[in-house]
Amino acid sequence: MMQINDLVNYDGGCHCGTVRFQVKANPKQDEVSDCNCSICRKKGFLHLIVPLEQFTLLQGEEALTTYTFNTGIAKHLFCRICGIHAFYRPRSHPHMIDVNLRCLDANVLSQFCITPFDGENWEANVHHIQEKD
């Protein structure tokens, strides 16, 4: 039986396999957000925000391209070959990494608690996800 503080290693990457990473997360404790803001809604991004020490980029750094908009704080990284956005530096937690749960190798969605986040009204709601920092 998994303890509440146990971290599980998950491998993931982009569609073409050029970008590969490993993330350590606790599916019993880490909450995942389903944001409805303009970019997340179009990408289908499910947000698993973890400390930097729980994320390792294994390969493909040279294939990553950065997209920024609005305040420029968020660094949206995507594979320049296949276009998949597997992780990025979020505006809400710029000192952390936000992994797209859908980019993990196995279908692990049912292992995590996924909650809606009203990113369309980001300024009014960001405190809900920052409280968990």
Asked if the structure places residue 92 within a domain, the reply is yes
Reported pTM: 0.86
Structure tokens at 16: 């073409």
Asked if the structure places residue 36 within a domain, the reply is yes
Asked if the structure places residue 28 within a domain, the reply is yes
Asked if the structure places residue 1 within a domain, the reply is no
The domain of 67 spans 8-130
What are 22's strand-pairing partners? Answer: 11, 56
Give the whole-angstrom CA distance, residue 64 versus residue 74: 15
Asked if the structure places residue 2 within a domain, the reply is no
Asked if the structure places residue 106 within a domain, the reply is yes
pLDDT by residue, tens only, the chain of 133 residues? 445 468 999 999 999 999 999 999 999 899 899 989 888 899 899 999 999 999 999 999 999 999 988 888 889 999 999 999 999 999 888 999 999 999 999 889 999 999 888 777 766 767 667 665 5
Helix (H, G, I), strand (E, B) or coil at 33: strand
List the CATH number of the domain containing 36: 2.170.150.70
Compute the C-alpha angle 84/73/10, nearest 5°.
40
Q: How many domains does the chain have?
A: 1
